[in-house]
Structure 1
Amino acid sequence: MNAAVGGVEERTAYSGLGERPRLLRHIAIVTHCVPELNPVIAAWTEYLGYTVVERGELRDPLCAAWNTPGAAGERYCTVRPESGQDSLIRFIETADPGGYGPPMTFGWNATELLVQDVDALAERLRGSPFTILGGPGDLYPRPRAPRAMQVSGPSGELIYFTRILPGGSRYGMHGARSPVDRVFIVTVGGPSSDRMHEFYGGTLGLRIMDRMPFINTILARGCAVPPSTIFPTSIARIPGRSFLIEMDEYPATVQPRLRREGHLPPGMSLVTFLVNSLDDVTPPVRSPPRSIEGVPYGGRRVVVVEGKAGEWLELIEGDRS
């Protein structure tokens, strides 16, 4: 479980709202690359209540938008929470091992889902393909605090399940609408929190909340450092009070994630966000904008940019559909 230490919060250069354009608006998909597709889908549907909305093989236009020609033809399956909310999880079957750790690597590393009763879910997951790593437990020593547990999925995917009670979130977040609901936080780890702040705050225009020192035994185990290691942690707020990005500064011993040329990053591969206009996107893109069909693209233009920790962000132009 996470534990704040020292009680010292450090303001960031992007703690205020400022006049920056806020590009990211909604998390549409979190994509995981896994070695075997069928066992993962079976586990997520049986134990988490997710339903399949699309399956098939990756087509050339989408792989061209990602600039990953080697991924064409790989099998994928996209699933949705029982609530029907439009934040999806996509699994792609690849030949790349791991990507989740240990050892942890820089990039996207954890997917956090809303749940209604984390203790009941913990009982349900016992003896399942999901392994409980930590919790359930309250995140803060106060009434109505969020209650969470950390779990490793069938392919090693790191998942945080969190219950939020009304009025219990310091960020104004709302709770789950189904026993296991949508993603609401994605976590990226990198060598420098300042550089991540510059990207998400300066380039993408998000408000970066005060940086705090945290002890995270799950991260420490994944990074092969002592359990008492302090991780500087900060939160980027996506407008709308539905989604957050957690940024963790990793120890110097952690390495970049290796990726085969022409393929997606292994493990938690990319996170897909909606943006108003791709014309506002200033970071270099992996490929020129392309119109993509299928869920959730619907013929809209798509690009991929890379963050300062090597993480990939897929950007879809337009409103929710």
Structure 2
Amino acid sequence: MTLLKCATHVVADLDDAVARYGAWMDYAVVESGVVDDGLAALWMAPDGAGRRYALMQPASGAQTFLRVVEGDVVEDYVPIRSYGWAAIELCVTDVEAVNARMMASPFEIIGPPRPLDGFAIVKPMQVKGADKEVVYLTQILAPGAEHGLPAPQSLVDRPFIMVLACPDLRAAMDWARDVLGLEVIDPVAIRYSMIAKSFDLPEGQKTEISTGRWGDHVFLEFDQYPQGACPRPRIEGQLPPGVAITTMEHPDFARLAPHWAVPPAMREGALYQGRRTGMLLTPEGALLEVIEA
């Protein structure tokens, strides 16, 4: 079972976001409400208290969720230009069918389906939502434990990888290995069209990436961002714009004890299920919410 449990992004209008992901990605709301003071404190975003949220589940019924939380618009935020959580990657059964659906949708296609350089076992496409969230929609051509990749059970299934934009790839890799205890692969240099386009990189320039896995599941990707990237602009007291939080389970809370940014406390709800949940910060300052497995 994957440790990845939820991907959270910030939206201007909750109802619109829920409708978009319901109509075009077949996600359904399993819980909704208002962010309480305790959750806002956990997220290190005290001004987020009182904002509406919705927890959404893929059509497959997988227990890895998408969560949308209302927040104020950060006008100078540009996707794929700043450090932190850069994208949510959803697994799909047929990327060409998904592409046809996206062409008719309000999502903007920013990368058409194509095999990934250096990783022939996947065929991704990329879209941008109305709230500047970036979503990769990836067909997995060779699922299974060998590659650490899932076999999706619905046309658009669950989040399976979260993408972290890094100023120092090796520092992020060391952190994932030393703090989280993940198995991290050596960096691989690939032609990364999203980053090349965003930073206007020279033709043929490659980007180093790495991945982190626990057991049979890869669930984190680390991307080395080029010069010109910057810390994410945000409104003080609120969640960062775009993809804001990654939520994972961890079976060894004891190893995390020296590293908490917000110590664990019991949380209720469909995601937390009465378990202790705390907050870590990646070396980039990105929010990594951790639930005791």
Q: TM-score, normalised by structure 2?
A: 0.92
Q: Which amino acid aligns with 1:230?
A: K
Counterpart in the other structure of 2:268: 293
Aligned to 2:175, the other structure's residue is in SS state helix
Instruction: Tell me the distance in 2 between the aligned counterparts of 1:94 and 1:314.
Output: 18
Which residue number in structure 1 is paired with residue 278 of structure 2? Answer: 303
Residue 283 of structure 1 and its aligned partner are, at CA, apart by 4.8
Please report how far the alpha carbon of residue 102 of structure 1 lies from its aligned counterpart in structure 2 after TM superposition: 4.2
Query: Does 2:52 match 1:92?
Result: no
Per the TM alignment, residue 285 of structure 1 is displaced from its structure 2 partner at its CA by 2.2
2:219 counterpart residue number: 244
Which of 169, 173, 187 in structure 1 is aligned with 2:163? 187
Long gaps (5+) in structure 1: 1-23
Deviates further, 156-165 or 109-118: 156-165
Determine the structure 2 residue equivalent to 1:35: 12
The CA deviation at 1:221 is 2.3
Cα 1:100/1:91, change in 2 over 3 Å:
farther
Q: What does 1:4-15 correspond to in 2, within 5 Å?
A: none
- In structure 1, what is the equivalent of residue 230 of structure 2? 255
Please tell me whether residue 270 in structure 1 is matched to residue 245 in structure 2. yes
Q: 1:238 to 1:96 in 2, by over 3 A?
A: farther
CA distance in 2, matches of 1:102, 1:65: 25
Amino acid in the other structure paired with 2:251: N
For residue 198 of structure 1, give the secondary structure of its aligned residue in structure 2: helix
Provide, for residues 146-187 of structure 1, a one-character-per-residue CA deviation record: whole Å limited to 9, x for no partner. 222111123221111111134588614232100100011111
Moved over 4 A (4+): 166-170
Equivalent of 2:83, from 92, 106, 117? 106
Aligned residues: 293
Helix, strand or coil at the partner of 1:296? coil
TM-score, L = length of structure 1: 0.84
Instruction: Please point out which of 152, 156, 159 is paired with 1:176.
Output: 152
Greater alpha carbon shift after TM alignment, 223-232 vs 255-264: 223-232
CA RMSD of aligned residues (A): 2.3
Cα offset for 1:228? 3.6
Name the structure 2 match of 1:62. Answer: 39
How far apart are residue 231 of structure 1 and its match? 1.2
Match of 2:290 in 1: 315
User: C-alpha displacement at 1:281, in angstroms?
Assistant: 0.4
Q: 2:22 and 2:77 mapped to 1: Cα distance?
A: 21
- In structure 2, C-alpha distance between the alignment counterparts of 1:268 and 1:178, rounded to whole Å: 23
Are the structure 2 counterparts of residues 185 and 93 from structure 1 closer, same or farther at C-alpha, using a change threshold of 3 Å? Answer: same
| CA shift in 2, pair 1:128/1:25, >3 Å | closer
Letter in structure 2 aligned against 1:63: A
